[in-house]
Chains A and B, each alone.
Chain A
Amino acid sequence: MNPMQRKKDRIDALAATAGAAADIPDAGRVSDSGGLSLIGSAWLRLRRDPVFLIGATVTLLFILLAIFAPLLAPHNGHTAYLIKEVSADNPVPGGEKGFPLGADGQTGRDLLSRLILGSRQTLIVGVLATLAGLCGGLVLGTVAGSLGGWADTVVMRVVDVMLSLPSLVLALAVATLFGKPSQWTLIIAIAIVQVPIFARLLRGSMLTQRSSDHVLAARALGVKRSAITFRHMLPNSLGPVLVQATLVLATAIIEAAALSFLGLGNPDDSSPEWGQMLGQAQQYFDIAPRLAFWPAGCIVVVAFGFTLMGESLREALDPRNRR
């Protein structure tokens, strides 16, 4: 099976999972006996799920780190504090008092501070790209799922084309379009790659909603099409899409790092970013591998955190897993 088909299948399977909530007559009936809604019982499960707790803790720490980065970083990210120690024998000064991780290269800046400050850049790129992808996906998915018919066919063909574009090529194209690569071209490229994921997922759950009992009941009362879409279908379709956004955020962070590593990110290194730091670490790889180790480790841990949280959220909200 080619990778694109695999991608599609996976998304459709997710949509089916999400839609199952509407199919299973039992999905909400638990409320009769236990007084619990789907979300209520999901929370009970999550509170005791170690995977979720680890994921959520990592994610929370990362977000706090990013928000308070300037306060937490011992130094700023651009001053060449350690430049005096840089010499031909010792091009990358190691850790010393006040600079536990040493310099970030021949530029002599503080590696620890740059790592901490880099969290912010990484979060911004990841979140903005995911938000943009989510918005695009919501628009396309809503159009396809609520109108159906030929509008659905056209939109889904467009989405299939988008799904087949590799992010690297897109990032190059967008960067060319804007003249030079920047943080923004990076965000746009990653967002475009994510639109199809959200669009397919939303369309799938919208279609399930379209044939659901409460939509039929609303139609039987003469409710207008716009209200059917935005009040009765969309809010009930969003859950799986929002859960997926957590997972996509992890991918976005990795993609952003990969593209920055290849020099398709922000060329200005005074505001550090993990992928970009990783890229610059290449030249010192044999003498100072820690320059690559630290940013790479950060990326892995953060992506791991988001993935754990997203997967356990999805599992908890899947009505088929309810006991």
Chain B
Amino acid sequence: MTTAAPAKTETLLAVRDLVVEFGGRGRPTFRAVDGVSFDVRPGQTVGLVGESGCGKSVTSLAIMGLLPKRGNKVAGSATYDGTDLLTLDDREMRDHRGRDIAMIFQDPLSSLNPVVSIGVQVAEVLQRHRGMKKSTAIAESRDLLDQVGIPDPARRLKEYPHQLSGGMRQRALIAMALACKPRLLIADEPTTALDVTIQAQILNLLKELVVDSGTALIMITHDLGVVAGLCDEVNVLYGGRIVETASRHEVFARPRHPYTTGLLGSIPRLDGSRSEQLAAIPGSVADNIPWTSGCAFAPRCSRALEVCRSEAPPLEQDPTAMEEHTLRCHNPNPAEGGEPA
């Protein structure tokens, strides 16, 4: 199932057959991520898209080595710049985090330490990875806050997280993540907890910073609208497996997986007429059946066939596509029209 790997120098991060199982202590094991593979090339923005609970966060935490160790199993590989991150010990991984790969999370308020000032929190990263003295690091932090568009950074440095607005907190977290100029940034739903007006600002900021610095970005989101504005390539996840991978253009022009069309249908459109219902996907991820007894999406799928309930479809190249476009579906949408079926 491994697709023909591009030349090694071209890939910054290659995730192969990543499996994460939670369990132990009498609970039945639960496979949150089930054989996920994807590539990130330098400077590229890759989207991981899916409803909540489909394993997006677990995938990113596994790559970062941040999953709780006890009782959980992580298998597969995540090769960053020639090293498999999953084989590194805690100490080695700690040196990579924040310096080579950084991450920002969903809720900017709870991601900041409430009792430490913003300046000290930004400076901490610089002191840790760039060996700066505290005074130098604080001065540098001021510039970093300035770069992420925080007004009056000298004053904000001395303030505490609860004194900042939600958008400013996320900006500060972005400053911390990009402080050491990592080559890869993982953003786990960075705008979900923010007001709609702020969301666009933060996405623009991310786009700008990523383009300017050539940082690769893994954008985790449940919102294909975010993908449309940001991602070069899109991986759609369902029940811990990738169900469709294609370039952004391809996903929007010719979505083949019924789940992807469902996600597209749930984006509100400004030009849509009032009477047009938002095409919500019936049910939720919670209803999913394990992939072992058929397609996990089948119970919610309008195109499900008999075979979908007995046999899990493999991930295969879409034969009708002109470019790379992989698909895990027995009965995809007809290829001709771009319109959702």
User: Residues on A close to B: CB < 8 A?
Assistant: 22, 25, 28-29, 31-32, 37, 211-214, 216-224, 227, 231-232, 235-236
Known: A220-B66, A221-B128, A221-B176. A213 touches B105 (CB 8 A): yes
Q: Bound complex: CA of A220 vs CA of B125, how far in Å?
A: 10
A220 touches B110 (CB 8 A): no
The reply to whether the CB of B222 lies closer than 8 angstroms to some CB of chain A is: no
The reply to whether the CB of B14 lies closer than 8 angstroms to some CB of chain A is: no
Q: A220-B103, A221-B125, A221-B177 are in contact. List 11 more A-B contacts (CB 8 A).
A: A37-B160, A214-B112, A216-B111, A217-B105, A219-B66, A221-B102, A221-B128, A222-B98, A222-B125, A224-B128, A232-B113
Nearest to A231 among chain B residues (CB) is: B116
Q: Bound complex: CA of A223 vs CA of B177, how far in Å?
A: 12
- What are the 6 closest A-B residue pairs judged by CB atoms, nearest first? A222-B98, A221-B98, A222-B97, A213-B110, A31-B162, A217-B111
Mask for B214-231, Cβ within 8 A of A = 1, else 0?
Answer: 000000000000000000
Known: A213-B105, A221-B128, A223-B98. A236 touches B114 (CB 8 A): yes
Mask for B130-152, Cβ within 8 A of A = 1, else 0?
Answer: 00000000000000000000000
Residues of A within 8 A of B102 (CB): 220-221
A217 touches B173 (CB 8 A): yes
Contact residue among A32, A213, A231, A232 (Cβ-Cβ distance under 8 Å from B107) = A213
**B-side interface mostly:** mixed
Minimal beta-carbon separation of B132 from chain A (angstroms)? 14
Contact residue among B66, B114, B128, B163 (Cβ-Cβ distance under 8 Å from A216) = B66
Residues of A within 8 A of B160 (CB): 37
Q: Bound complex: CA of A216 vs CA of B94, how far in Å?
A: 12
Residues of A within 8 A of B128 (CB): 221-224, 227
Q: Bound complex: CA of A267 vs CA of B161, how far in Å?
A: 54
B113 touches A214 (CB 8 A): yes
Residues of A within 8 A of B125 (CB): 221-223
Q: List 13 A-B contacts (CB under 8 A).
A: A22-B110, A31-B162, A211-B68, A213-B111, A214-B113, A214-B114, A217-B103, A220-B64, A220-B98, A220-B102, A224-B94, A224-B128, A236-B115
Q: Bound complex: CA of A231 vs CA of B116, how far in Å?
A: 8
Nearest to A40 among chain B residues (CB) is: B162
Residues of B within 8 A of A236 (CB): 113-115
Minimal beta-carbon separation of A196 from chain B (angstroms)? 25
Residues of B within 8 A of A212 (CB): 110
B166 touches A32 (CB 8 A): yes
Minimal beta-carbon separation of B89 from chain A (angstroms)? 13
Mask for B65-91, Cβ within 8 A of A = 1, else 0?
Answer: 010100000000000000000000000
B116 touches A221 (CB 8 A): no
Nearest to A218 among chain B residues (CB) is: B113
The reply to whether the CB of B129 lies closer than 8 angstroms to some CB of chain A is: yes
Known: A25-B107, A216-B105, A217-B105. A222 touches B95 (CB 8 A): yes
Minimal beta-carbon separation of B197 from chain A (angstroms)? 15
The reply to whether the CB of B124 lies closer than 8 angstroms to some CB of chain A is: yes
Residues of B within 8 A of A37 (CB): 114, 160, 162
Nearest to B69 among chain A residues (CB) is: A149
Minimal beta-carbon separation of B218 from chain A (angstroms)? 13
Q: Bound complex: CA of A318 vs CA of B129, how far in Å?
A: 37
A222 touches B99 (CB 8 A): yes
Best-surrounded residue of A211, A212, A213 (most CB of chain B within 10 A): A213
Q: Bound complex: CA of A231 vs CA of B128, how far in Å?
A: 13
Known: A37-B162, A231-B116. A223 touches B173 (CB 8 A): no
Residues of B within 8 A of A214 (CB): 110-114
Residues of B within 8 A of A211 (CB): 68
Minimal beta-carbon separation of A18 from chain B (angstroms)? 14
Contact residue among B97, B107, B115, B124 (Cβ-Cβ distance under 8 Å from A235) = B115
